[in-house]
């Protein structure tokens, strides 16, 4: 397999643009491999690095980053499933931030990875499964780790309108936490039932645990919520209390990385019956519950991530039980109870490999022509573009492979770039011929 190296300099971390520009560099190549990026100019530029291959490549497998101390009831089973499917897992502790994250591989090797700076893709998708705190931390890092946890779309204010009359909490209001005590009387008279209301945070990060608040113990109950240092502006859902019989968790996913592919139930489990946790939950679900979930998926366009969780509950309605949407959650940090873990992790693995291969395929859109660099050089020579409006950069891949980059000041992309120069001096002479002084040339 022949491999060609490419480097793309952008002023913003626009991965899709970097992929498109990288494809424009070579013809007759079949696949692309993202190696990672560096920040050579601090916050001023992103150096995306790729390898191109003359034949399709496949990911080695899917890796899994698992956190200890979060879902211990299923952790050993998950590790066994991952190993049996020929994949590798990494066990980590979500320790306080110190710039690194320590973890141990399934082969017993202790490692440490940087959270800032260079991030390795290594032809191996890695999926993270752990606590909300770990996932939030990973999303802020530069690590090439897949997380299915769209916090914005897990806000009640986002998904409530998309489920509407299917919701358990049909009668609700959004009120800032700092206003709950002042508006106590209005809340109880408008939303309350038998002197009680249900309160939970709007955000998907679960700032505090949702609970019933009673008129007689209102201040004490609110203070208990505030134990978590809830800021006064934290928006809360205040809803009419409901008596719940049973609760179910479903893993929802898709088979291919495209919005054209329908969402489906991957697996599900009943985790509460008559208000009590089920001792040994399994994936046996009543037919009418499954039919309800399928109907909900058909009727909504809600799709926060390729994989997510949907909680359903039942309430008593005379001699019958009625189904409702209780809440939604993240695949990366959801307890799976008695769900079929082989189905869940097998489906996730298949999807991640398909998504990786989709990214590796050539893109038809090539916004920058192969000779764009030379064309722009001619425009600078003919004074059609002012050299003062641009940054002139030099980079090196090897002793005889130097790159020239023309970058805009305040622009969102690299104007043009070209590798293949034999020396720094060759690039400097080219820039000097346009009127660019040596003091204006930047190393990246």
Query: pTM to 2 decimals?
Result: 0.68
Same domain flag for 235 and 249:
no
Which residues span the domain enclosing 423? Answer: 3-57+368-443
**Residue 370 pLDDT:** 42
157 part of a folded domain: no
297 part of a folded domain: yes
189 part of a folded domain: yes
CATH of the domain at 344: 3.30.470
**Residue 388 pLDDT:** 81
Q: Among the three residues 205, 239, 273, which one is the final residue of a domain in this structure?
A: 239
Query: Is the separation of the CB atoms in 314 and 93 below 8 Å?
Result: no
Same domain flag for 268 and 356:
yes
What's the rounded Cα separation, in Å, for the pair 419 and 428? Answer: 14
- Report helix, strand or coil for 199: strand
20 part of a folded domain: yes
Domains held by the chain: number: 4
Same domain flag for 254 and 319:
yes
**Residue 337 pLDDT:** 94
The parts of the chain modelled with pLDDT lower than 70 are 1-3, 5, 10-46, 48, 50-51, 53-61, 94-124, 142-144, 260, 357-372, 397-398, 408-414
CATH of the domain at 209: 3.30.1490
Element (H, E) at 32: strand 31-38
Query: Is the separation of the CB atoms in 184 and 229 below 8 Å?
Result: no
Q: Among the three residues 311, 330, 360, which one is the final residue of a domain in this structure?
A: 360
Same domain flag for 293 and 336:
yes
What crossing angle do the helices spanning 341-360 and 72-84 adopt, rounded to 10°?
60
162 part of a folded domain: no
Contacts of 8 (CB under 8 A, 6+ apart): 18, 21, 22, 47, 48, 49, 50, 414, 417
Same domain flag for 385 and 352:
no
Beta strands in 39-157 (DSSP E): 46-53, 63-67, 88-92, 100-105, 110-114, 126-129
> For residue range 253-285, what is the model confidence (pLDDT) as tens digits?
998 777 767 899 999 999 999 989 999 899 999
Q: What is the CB neighbour count within 10 angstroms for residue 396? A: 17
322 part of a folded domain: yes
């Amino acid at each position: 397999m022949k491999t060609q190296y490419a480097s793309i300099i952008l002023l913003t971390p626009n991965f899709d643009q970097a992929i498109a520009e990288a494809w424009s560099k070579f013809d007759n190549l079949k696949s692309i491999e993202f190696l990672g990026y560096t920040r050579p100019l601090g916050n001023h530029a992103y150096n995306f690095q790729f390898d191109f291959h003359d034949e399709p490549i496949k990911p080695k497998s899917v890796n899994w980053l698992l956190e200890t101390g979060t879902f211990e009831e299923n952790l050993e089973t998950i590790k066994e499933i991952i190993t049996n499917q020929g994949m590798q897992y990494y066990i980590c502790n979500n320790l306080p931030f110190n710039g690194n994250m320590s973890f141990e591989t399934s082969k017993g090797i202790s490692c440490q990875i940087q959270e800032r700076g260079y991030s390795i893709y290594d032809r191996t998708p890695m999926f993270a499964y752990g606590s909300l705190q770990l996932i939030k931390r990973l999303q802020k890092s530069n690590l090439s780790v897949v997380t299915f946890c769209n916090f914005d779309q897990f806000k009640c204010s986002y998904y409530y309108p998309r489920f509407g009359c299917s919701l358990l909490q049909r009668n609700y209001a959004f009120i800032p936490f700092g206003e709950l005590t002042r508006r106590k009387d209005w809340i109880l008279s408008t939303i309350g039932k038998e002197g009680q209301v249900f309160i939970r945070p709007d955000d998907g990060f679960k700032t505090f645990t949702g609970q019933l608040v009673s008129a007689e113990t209102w201040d004490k109950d609110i203070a208990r919520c505030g134990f978590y240092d809830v800021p006064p502006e934290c928006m809360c859902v205040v809803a009419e209390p409901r008596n719940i019989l049973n609760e179910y968790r479903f893993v929802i996913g898709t088979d291919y990385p495209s919005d054209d592919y329908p969402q489906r139930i991957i697996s599900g489990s009943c985790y509460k019956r008559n208000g009590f946790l089920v001792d040994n939950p399994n994936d046996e679900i009543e037919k009418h519950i499954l039919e309800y979930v399928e109907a909900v998926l058909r009727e909504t366009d809600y799709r926060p991530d390729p994989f997510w969780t949907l909680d359903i509950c039942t309430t008593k309605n005379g001699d019958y039980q009625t189904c409702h949407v209780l809440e939604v959650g993240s695949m990366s940090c959801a307890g799976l109870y008695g769900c079929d873990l082989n189905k869940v992790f097998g489906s996730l693995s298949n999807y991640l490999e398909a998504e990786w291969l989709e990214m590796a395929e050539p893109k038809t859109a090539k916004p920058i022509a192969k000779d764009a660099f030379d064309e722009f050089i001619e425009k600078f020579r003919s004074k059609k573009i002012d050299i003062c409006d641009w940054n002139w950069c030099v980079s090196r891949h090897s002793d005889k492979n130097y790159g020239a980059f023309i970058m805009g000041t305040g622009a969102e992309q690299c104007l043009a770039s070209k590798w293949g120069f034999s020396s720094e001096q060759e690039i400097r002479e080219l820039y000097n011929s346009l009127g660019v002084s040596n003091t204006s040339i930047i190393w990246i």
